[in-house]
């Protein structure tokens, strides 16, 4: 009977996920049938499947936005759909669309001829969509597993490279370990409260600060800590960041682009849901965890990147630093801090996507991507417009006004000061200065670098250049018209916190 009632409203609301799931199955069978068809002489349908998956995600995006019902808890309280989830899902879908477009050129050049790449990307996206909507510890775990399993395979995608296999293996082991921690934490929470639904937990744990005896909820606290640690593993926050430089380095570059941008959106959405809604009353405990992780991430990230010579490892450490900044927003625990977190997340994703599209677009004459930072020398003379765009992205990552990165940091540090986390703010700005040093080094290498060999580049392909220019345009003109992002972030912050 319960199942029949789902047909009334529930399935209408989760149409985006259902559509995505159906089209994944359809694309999988389409790919499998046609790529093994002897009649057509085993065509390579990879780019074909790529564009089909692009269209799939676009239609999913429009289905998401055209949802007739706005706010509902569906499927036996397993998933929730409300404006917050709609916003984050839209963001995830847009970033995934950009990542798919970025990878087309790479796959063509590297002759990676298996179409499953896009299927896996779509599966990961589906996992992330479900993750953002999850409203129960069970659906949380299932969605994280769906997302992570797709990632493990994607990290090891280049079959003839041991580097890639090693990356996949490392990611798998650490990811499975953190999922185990997540399960342990969830089971502790379930054991001590008997509930797994976030809303029920929020109701049970209301006002728990007022209860005098502190022993009654230590079990739940252990559960929360384990869940937090597991999620921190997934976003590569220090001290759980060890896997990210190696995995980012070994995975194929578009997969790295996907890793460093999209899961962070999903898991931060999850963080916001869990810690700002469910466990908000325990704030004095988890605030300390996040402060510690934020400080450590910022320090380790900025100091670690100083010695890097390879581009992708450098981006991994820069990702750790940025996660540190976002954890400040999470630690502050106010509505303004959530606003700052969302704004910074948007700007960070745009910057990273822009930078990765630059990396994927510049191939030297042997059709190889640049591995080392010193490969970028003379770019200022060869292609000054490209070098200038990357300069703007780098200055935005430093946080120089009037580019967008400054505004992200502004809101975050404002939130930190409002919550009186002065030491965190000071450490944050200091690590920002240390970070400036190595971001400027990339600019220096491009414009003022000297090399003995003249490095020339193949012309950048159209998709990557469109993505790069869109991102740079956003970064430059965010200053002039931030209204839609500020408005929507503010609205959903109020929605979640109140």
Partner 1 sequence: MFEYSSILLLLIALPLIGIIFLLFIPNTESNLQKSVGLSVSLLTFFISILLWLKFDMSTSKYQFVEKFFSVPYSNMHIYIGVDGISLFFVLLTTFLIPICLLASWDSVKIHIREYSIAFLFMESALICVFTVLDLLFFYIFFEAILIPMFLVIGVWGSRERKIRAAYQFFVYTLVGSVLMLLGILWIYFQVGSTDIQVLTTVEFSLNAQLILWLAFFASLAVKIPMVPAHIWLPEAHSEAPTAGSVILAGVLLKMGGYGFLRFSIPMFPDASIYFTPLVYTMSVIAVIYTSLTTLRQVDMKRIIAYSSVAHMGFVTIGMFTLNIQGIEGSMLLMLSHGIVSSALFLCVGVVYDRHKTRIIKYYSGLTVKMPIFSIIFLFFIMANIGFPGTSSFVSEFLVLIGAFKSNIFVTVLAATGVIWGAGYSVWLYNRVAFGNIRTTHIEAFQDVNRREFMIFLPCIILVLLMGIYPEIFLNVMHVSITNLIEQTQ
Binding mask 163-202 for partner 1 (x = CB under 8 A): ----------------------------------------
Alpha helices (H) along 237-366: 243-250, 253-273, 283-304, 311-332, 335-361
Structure tokens at 229: 């640690």
Q: Which stretch binds partner 1 (CB under 8 A): 60-68, 99-107, 257-265, 434-442?
A: 434-442
The answer to whether 55 touches 128, Cβ cutoff 8 Å, is no
C-beta closer to partner 1: residue 260 or 332: 332
Q: Which stretch binds partner 1 (CB under 8 A): 139-147, 170-178, 237-245, 481-489?
A: 481-489
C-beta closer to partner 1: residue 430 or 458: 430
Both ends of the chain: CA-CA distance in Å? 34
The answer to whether 151 touches 171, Cβ cutoff 8 Å, is yes
| Nearby residues of 431 by Cβ (< 8 Å), 6 or more positions away | 298, 299, 301, 302, 321, 324
- Binding status of residue 437 toward partner 1 by CB under 8 A: yes
Which of the residues 54 through 73 are near partner 1 (CB under 8 A)? none
C-beta closer to partner 1: residue 244 or 432: 432
Selected binder of partner 1 within 169, 204, 436, 466 (CB under 8 A): 436
C-beta closer to partner 1: residue 225 or 414: 414
C-beta closer to partner 1: residue 210 or 484: 484
Peptide bond into 388 cis (omega under 30): no
Q: Is 176 exposed, middle or buried (0-12, 13-18, 19+ CB in 10 A)?
A: middle
Q: Which stretch binds partner 1 (CB under 8 A): 221-229, 306-314, 349-357, 440-448?
A: 440-448
Selected binder of partner 1 within 46, 432, 464, 493 (CB under 8 A): 432
DSSP secondary structure code for residue 217 in this structure: T
SS3 assignment for 111-172: CCCCCHHHHHHHHHHHHHHHHHHECEHHHHHHHHHHHHHHHHHHHCCCCCCHHHHHHHHHHH
| Nearby residues of 162 by Cβ (< 8 Å), 6 or more positions away | none
Which of the residues 323 through 382 are near partner 1 (CB under 8 A)? 380
Question: C-alpha angle 286/290/295, rounded to 5°?
Answer: 150
Binding mask 245-274 for partner 1 (x = CB under 8 A): ------------------------------
C-beta closer to partner 1: residue 27 or 398: 398
> Closest separation between CB of residue 398 and partner 1, Å?
8
The answer to whether 415 touches 330, Cβ cutoff 8 Å, is no
Selected binder of partner 1 within 138, 176, 225, 440 (CB under 8 A): 440
Which of the residues 372 through 431 are near partner 1 (CB under 8 A)? 380, 384, 391, 395, 398, 400-402, 406, 410, 413-414, 417-418, 422, 425-426, 429-430
Q: Containing H/E element for 197? A: none
> Closest separation between CB of residue 175 and partner 1, Å?
36
List phi, psi (to 5°) of 74: -120, 170
C-beta closer to partner 1: residue 29 or 420: 420
Closest CA to 249 of 260, 238, 240, 239: 260
> Closest separation between CB of residue 120 and partner 1, Å?
40
Q: What gap in Å lies between CA 91 and CA 225, rounded to an integer?
A: 28
Q: What gap in Å lies between CA 286 and CA 103, rounded to an integer?
A: 38
457: left (phi over 0), alpha (psi -120 to 50) or beta: beta
Q: Which stretch binds partner 1 (CB under 8 A): 204-212, 214-222, 321-329, 483-491?
A: 483-491
Binding residues with partner 1: total (CB under 8 A) = 31
Structure tokens at 424: 């965190």
C-beta closer to partner 1: residue 417 or 455: 417
Selected binder of partner 1 within 433, 458, 494, 495 (CB under 8 A): 433
> Closest separation between CB of residue 177 and partner 1, Å?
37
Q: Which residues pair with 72 in a beta bridge?
A: 81
Which residues in this chain contact partner 1 in the complex, by CB under 8 A?
380, 384, 391, 395, 398, 400-402, 406, 410, 413-414, 417-418, 422, 425-426, 429-430, 432-433, 436-437, 440, 444, 447-448, 483, 486-487, 490
């Amino acid at each position: 009977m319960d199942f029949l009632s789902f047909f009334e409203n529930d399935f209408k609301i989760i149409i985006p996920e259902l559509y995505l799931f159906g089209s994944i199955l359809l694309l999988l069978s389409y790919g499998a049938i046609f790529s093994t068809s002897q009649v057509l002489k085993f065509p390579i349908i990879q780019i074909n499947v790529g564009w089909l998956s692009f269209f799939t995600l676009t239609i999913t995006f429009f289905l998401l936005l055209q949802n007739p019902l706005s706010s509902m808890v569906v499927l036996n309280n397993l998933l929730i759909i409300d404006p917050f989830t709609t916003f984050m899902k839209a963001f995830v879908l847009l970033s995934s669309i950009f990542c798919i477009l970025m990878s087309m050129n790479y796959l063509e050049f590297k002759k990676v001829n298996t179409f499953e790449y896009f299927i896996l990307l779509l599966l990961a996206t589906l996992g992330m969509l479900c993750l953002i909507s999850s409203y129960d510890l069970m659906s949380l775990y299932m969605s994280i597993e769906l997302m992570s399993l797709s990632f493990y395979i994607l990290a090891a995608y280049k079959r003839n490279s041991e580097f890639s296999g090693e990356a996949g293996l490392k990611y798998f082991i650490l990811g499975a370990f953190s999922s185990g921690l997540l399960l342990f934490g969830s089971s502790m929470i379930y054991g001590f409260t008997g509930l797994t639904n976030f809303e029920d937990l929020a109701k049970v744990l209301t006002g728990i600060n007022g209860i005098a005896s502190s022993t009654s909820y230590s079990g739940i606290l252990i559960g929360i800590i384990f869940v937090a640690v597991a999620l921190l593993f997934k976003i590569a926050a220090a001290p759980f960041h060890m896997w990210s430089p190696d995995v980012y380095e070994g995975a194929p570059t578009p997969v790295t682009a996907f890793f460093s941008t999209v899961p962070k959106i999903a898991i931060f959405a999850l963080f916001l849901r869990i810690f700002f809604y469910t466990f908000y009353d325990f704030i004095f405990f988890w605030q300390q965890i996040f402060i510690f992780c934020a400080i450590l991430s910022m320090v380790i990230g900025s100091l670690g990147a100083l010695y890097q010579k390879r581009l992708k490892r450098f981006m991994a450490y820069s990702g750790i630093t940025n996660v540190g900044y976002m954890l400040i927003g999470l630690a502050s625990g106010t509505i303004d801090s959530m606003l700052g977190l969302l704004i910074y997340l948007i700007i960070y994703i745009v910057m990273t996507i822009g930078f990765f599209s630059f990396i994927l677009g510049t191939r030297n004459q042997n059709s190889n991507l640049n591995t080392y930072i010193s490969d970028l020398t003379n770019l200022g003379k060869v292609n000054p417009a490209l070098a200038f765009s990357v300069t703007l992205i780098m200055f935005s990552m430093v946080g120089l006004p009037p580019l967008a990165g400054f505004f992200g940091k502004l809101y975050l540090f404002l939130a930190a000061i409002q919550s009186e986390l002065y030491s965190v703010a000071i450490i944050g700005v200091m690590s920002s200065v240390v970070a400036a040093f190595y971001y400027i080094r990339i600019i220096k290498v491009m414009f003022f670098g000297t090399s003995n060999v003249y490095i020339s580049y193949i012309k950048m392909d159209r998709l990557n250049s469109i993505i790069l220019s869109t991102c740079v345009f956003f970064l430059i003109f965010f200053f002039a018209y931030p209204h839609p992002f500020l408005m929507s972030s503010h609205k959903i912050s109020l929605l979640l916190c109140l």
